[in-house]
């Protein structure tokens, strides 16, 4: 037997109090009044006073109260050997890591074998449960005492392609402990990758009644992988393509690797790269021979390691003609068209081609056939074209609106119907011009534009932003760039002109990157990544917008969404590697490439000291010391039993004291 709080045993010294009360306390007699002492015989009084214990039963009860109170505070406990998973009111939780790295060698098979061995020695006094771990925690069973059900769940676990997250596991275990109201005995079967750890160790905290046992089924192995690929999403000229691939080695010696670019199953180029020890190397491909339309491309290496699934990186590329941009302007105002067209068509890849139409002739033009529409200082639009443009934007299209004197005469922004409050002119005193003030430089339209350095604005129009997002303001707080979501699409408003009259923006170096970046943003070039990681989400539609159903085909060629989901789902979780085909409601077809999370390619394990700290083992004790068949010691606190005995002793002491007190009163 042991004590959780042995310092309270010092309370045994209080046993002397009842002894003092019953033995050492002096007997005090009250003097009696007497008339005379002359008739009393005088004698010598003895100096030795005989003392004796009085009320022995009452003293014993009081000593018992002190002893029991002291023991209750000291919290005595006894230990007994308990088989794994057995315990009064406990829940055995078996967690199997099914992340991408468990594909290496026989890691998953080893994890299943150890979990099955644990079940063989389990004597279920309570319940068990099986969980699977990747970026999330998946419940494979509810709590049950059926060994067959737990074994079937263990055998059903297959290695996935996502990453494992121990921080997510700790959060799920805290939630499980709170909901079940039971002590947890958790056995984690994993390869204990370093990349599975959260950024802060505090995120691994578990409940006080949770016992964690770690089963490491992995070891550090050298591994090469194609870590990333940088490539254009859309290719117009195959001779002006630059593809960069990064080859990484994890715990690997210096070696040469052959890197191949494969398009639609055909190898178009192969290069050799020297990868330094435990380092990275970059390979560059300067051409892409691909037919028009969407192409399935990948970069491969000849690694010959034990994890071949990360030796290739998938990406999708669309080969197309330059995208057409509809530029609507007033018939006699062509200066804005001249500057805008020259800036957009001067881009290196020639991705856009501007088609200009006057406002008087745009009635029969279909805006959905263009990548996006630019409305440059137009007083009014034909109603039929305006309705078609609004519908195109709601279905996922985009528009750019420049406000000038002609548009300001209407006092309303086309399409948005936002109010134009007034025209702002630079003051004739002071600097005589306005400059860019506060701006969101993370917005794609402002990236690589150096904050519009030296751009002077002489006139801008104060537009009521309403619920639109103000991207940039001038120094007098006039909004100069706004963005508003309309259905599935977006509208960007520039509250000045492109004609070098209201400003000198078209003459400054920032104008070309601004026009190019904004064009790519409006046409959707910036929204889609070359490759997604397993477990990430693909945006299908924006929140709060009514839309028609779309179609998504998974890597197996089957529908990834049901009919009801296709009409309502906003984001699709990409759960498998391969190519997803998306046919959006505006008729646009997209190809999305998905790869296993490359953080799983690093097979280095967590240091043993960290694992010991997480599971609460003493420093220097192996994290794998607790084997599945090893019984554990369980403490049983006896404090409650002593408290009950204390209550009984207190009642007995009260009864005895009450009887003696009543006897003393009768004698008196």
Residues 294, 253 share a domain: yes
pLDDT at 169: 95
Phi-psi region of 616 (alpha: psi -120 to 50; beta: other; left: phi over 0): left
Q: Cα(541)–Cα(584) distance, rounded to whole angstroms?
A: 9
Spatial strand order of the sheet with 137-139 comes to 137-139, 127-133, 91-97, 184-190, 210-216
Asked if residue 390 has pLDDT above 60, the reply is yes
Confidence band for 629, pLDDT divided at 50, 70 and 90: very low
Among the three residues 460, 490, 523, which one is the final residue of a domain in this structure? 523
Residues 359 and 382 in one domain: yes
**What pLDDT, on a 0 to 100 scale, did the predictor assign at position 630?**
52
Q: Residue 85 has what pLDDT?
A: 47
Specify whether 336 is located in the same domain as 244: no
Is the residue at 439 inside a domain? yes
355 and 389 in a single domain? The answer is yes
Please list the residues that pair with 275 across neighbouring strands: 255
Q: Give the pLDDT confidence score for residue 633 in this predicted structure.
A: 61
Are residues 215 and 227 located together in one domain of the fold?
A: no
**375 and 505 belong to one structural domain:** yes
Average pLDDT, stretch 534-542?
Answer: 84
CA angle, corner 51, sides to 45 and 54, nearest 5? 135
For the chain, the average pLDDT equals 85
pLDDT band at 505 (very low <50, low <70, confident <90, very high): very high
Least reliable range by pLDDT among 83-92, 217-226, 495-504? 83-92
Mean pLDDT to the nearest integer, 204-232? 91
pLDDT score of 403: 93
Within 290-395, where are the H helices? 335-344, 383-394
Of 27-41, 63-77, 221-235, highest mean pLDDT: 221-235
Residues 6+ apart with CB under 8 A from 615: 212, 213, 214, 623
Question: Is residue 64 included in any domain, yes or no?
Answer: yes
- Amino acid 63: pLDDT: 84
Q: What is the mean pLDDT of residues 264-274?
A: 93
Q: Reply yes or no on whether the pLDDT at 45 is more than 70.
A: no
Which residues on adjacent β-strands are paired with residue 327? 356, 374
Q: Please tell me the distance from the alpha carbon of residue 73 to that of residue 79, in angstroms, as a whole number.
A: 18
Helix, strand or coil, per DSSP, at residue 538: strand
Range of the domain at 265: 223-319
Q: Report, as an integer, the average pLDDT of 323-330.
A: 93
Q: Which one has a higher pLDDT value, 577 or 47?
A: 577
Distance, in Å, from the CA atom of 528 to the CA atom of 402, rounded to the nearest integer, reads 26
Residue that finishes a domain, picked among 319, 342, 363: 319
343 in the same domain as 280: no
CATH number for the domain that contains residue 557: 2.60.40
Among 61-65, 433-437, 567-571, 614-618, which is the least confidently predicted range? 614-618
Low-confidence winner among 34-38, 330-334, 463-467 (lowest mean pLDDT): 34-38
Q: Going by DSSP bridges, is the β-strand pair 312-319/293-301 parallel, antiparallel, or unpaired?
A: antiparallel
For residue 500, give the nearest of 338, 362, 297 by alpha carbon: 338
- Whether residue 550 is contained in a domain is answered as yes
Q: What is the CATH number of the domain that holds 511?
A: 3.40.50.880
**Which range has the worst mean pLDDT, 151-165, 406-420, 594-608?**
406-420
Question: pLDDT category, 56, cuts 50, 70, 90?
Answer: confident
Q: Do 590 and 613 lie in a common domain?
A: no
Task: Tell me, yes or no, whether 469 and 341 share the same domain.
Answer: yes
Listed in sequence order, the DSSP H helices in 366-469 are: 383-394, 405-410
Residue 661's pLDDT is 63
- pLDDT tens across 129-175, in order? 999 999 999 999 998 888 999 999 999 999 999 999 999 999 999 99
As a whole-number percent, the residues of the chain with pLDDT over 90 amount to 48
The DSSP string of 458-489 is: SEEEEE--TTSEEEEEETTS-EEEEEEEETTE
How many domains does the chain divide into?
5
Give the CATH number, domain containing residue 612. 3.40.50.410
Q: What's the pLDDT at 415?
A: 86
Pairing of strands 323-329, 293-301: unpaired
Q: Is residue 480 in a domain?
A: yes
Domain CATH code at residue 244? 2.60.40.10
Least confident of 58-67, 85-94, 404-413, 444-453: 85-94
Inform me whether the pLDDT recorded for 455 exceeds 80: yes
Half-sphere exposure of 475 (CA within 13 A, CB side): 16
Residue 661 lies in a domain: yes
- 86 domain residue, yes or no: no
* Mean pLDDT to the nearest integer, 525-538: 75
Place of tokens 């991705």: 351
- Higher pLDDT, residue 70 or 41: 70
Query: pLDDT at position 567, please?
Result: 81
pLDDT digits (tens, 9 = 90+) for 423-439: 888 765 556 889 999 99
Q: Assess whether 537 and 500 both reside in one domain.
A: no
Cβ atoms 316, 579 nearer than 8 A:
yes
Q: Which of 273, 303, 319 is the last residue of a domain?
A: 319
> Do 379 and 331 have their domain in common?
yes
If asked whether residues 347 and 443 sit together in one domain, one would say yes
- Reply yes or no on whether the pLDDT at 503 is more than 80: yes
Weakest mean pLDDT among 22-26, 284-288, 357-361, 552-556: 22-26
In the structure encoding, which two tokens stand for residue 208, read together? 């006080």
Examine residue 464 and state whether it is found in any structural domain, yes or no.
yes
**Mean pLDDT across the stretch 165-189?**
91
Beta-sheet pairing, 255-263 with 266-275: antiparallel
Residue 99 pLDDT greater than 50, yes or no: yes
DSSP designation for 20: I
Domain for residue 85, yes or no? no
* Average pLDDT score over residue span 67-93: 72
- Using pLDDT thresholds of 50, 70 and 90, give the confidence band for residue 666: low
């Amino acid at each position: 037997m042991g004590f959780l709080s042995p310092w309270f045993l010092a309370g045994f010294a209080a046993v002397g109090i009842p002894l003092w009360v019953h033995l050492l306390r002096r007997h005090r007699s009250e003097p009696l009044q007497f008339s005379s002492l002359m008739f009393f015989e005088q004698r010598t009084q003895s100096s030795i006073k005989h003392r004796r214990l009085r009320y022995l039963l009452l003293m014993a009860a009081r000593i018992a109260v002190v002893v029991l109170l002291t023991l209750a505070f000291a919290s005595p406990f006894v230990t007994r050997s308990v088989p794994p998973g057995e315990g009064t009111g406990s829940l055995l939780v078996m967690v199997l890591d099914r992340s991408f790295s468990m594909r290496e060698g026989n890691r998953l098979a080893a994890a299943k074998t150890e979990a099955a061995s644990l079940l063989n020695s389990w004597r279920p006094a309570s319940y068990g449960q099986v969980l699977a771990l990747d970026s999330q925690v998946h419940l494979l069973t509810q709590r049950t005492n059926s060994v067959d059900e737990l074994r079937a769940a263990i055998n059903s676990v297959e290695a996935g392609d996502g990453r494992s997250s121990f921080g997510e596991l700790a959060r799920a275990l805290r939630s499980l402990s709170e909901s079940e109201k039971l002590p947890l005995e958790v056995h984690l079967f994993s390869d204990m990758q370093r990349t599975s750890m959260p950024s802060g160790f505090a995120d691994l905290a578990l409940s006080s009644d949770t016992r964690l046992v770690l089963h490491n089924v992995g070891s550090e192995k050298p591994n090469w992988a194609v870590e990333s690929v940088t490539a254009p999403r859309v290719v117009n000229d195959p001779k002006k393509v630059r593809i960069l691939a990064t080859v990484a080695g994890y715990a690997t010696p210096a070696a040469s690797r052959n890197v191949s670019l494969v398009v639609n199953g055909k190898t178009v180029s192969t290069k050799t790269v020297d990868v330094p020890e435990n380092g990275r190397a970059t390979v560059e491909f300067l051409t892409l021979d691909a037919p028009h339309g969407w192409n399935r491309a990948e970069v491969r290496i000849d690694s010959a390691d034990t994890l071949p699934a990360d030796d290739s990186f998938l990406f999708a590329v669309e080969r197309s003609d330059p995208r057409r941009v509809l530029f609507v302007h007033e018939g006699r105002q062509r200066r804005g068209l001249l500057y805008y067209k020259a800036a957009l068509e001067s881009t290196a890849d020639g991705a856009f081609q501007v088609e200009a139409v006057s406002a008087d002739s745009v009635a029969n033009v279909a805006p959905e056939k263009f990548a996006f529409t630019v409305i440059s200082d137009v007083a009014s639009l034909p109603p039929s074209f305006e309705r078609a443009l609004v519908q195109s934007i709601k279905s996922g299209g985009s528009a750019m609106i420049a406000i000038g004197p002609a548009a300001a005469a209407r006092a309303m922004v086309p399409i948005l119907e936002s109010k134009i409050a007034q025209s702002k002119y630079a003051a004739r005193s002071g600097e005589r011009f306005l400059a860019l003030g506060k701006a969101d430089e993370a917005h794609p339209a402002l990236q690589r534009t150096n904050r519009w350095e030296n751009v002077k604005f002489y006139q801008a129009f104060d537009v009521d932003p309403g619920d639109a997002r103000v991207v940039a303001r001038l120094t007098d707080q006039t909004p100069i760039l706004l963005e508003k979501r309309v259905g599935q699409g977006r509208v960007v408003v520039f509250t000045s002109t492109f004609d070098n009259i209201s400003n000198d923006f078209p003459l400054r170096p920032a104008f070309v990157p601004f026009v190019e970046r904004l064009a790519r943003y409006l046409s959707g070039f910036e929204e889609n990544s070359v490759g997604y990681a397993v477990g990430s989400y693909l945006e299908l539609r924006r929140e709060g917008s009514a839309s028609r159903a779309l179609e998504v085909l998974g890597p197996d060629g089957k529908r990834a969404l049901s009919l009801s989901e296709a009409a309502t789902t906003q984001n699709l979780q990409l759960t498998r590697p391969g190519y997803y085909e998306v046919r959006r409601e505006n008729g646009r077809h997209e190809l999305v490439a998905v790869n296993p999370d490359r953080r799983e390619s690093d097979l280095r394990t967590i240091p043993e000291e960290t694992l010991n700290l997480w599971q609460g083992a003493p420093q220097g004790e192996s994290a794998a010391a607790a084997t599945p068949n090893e019984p554990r010691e369980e403490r049983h606190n006896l404090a409650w039993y002593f408290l009950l005995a204390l209550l009984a002793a207190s009642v007995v002491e009260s009864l005895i004291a009450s009887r003696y007190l009543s006897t003393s009163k009768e004698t008196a």
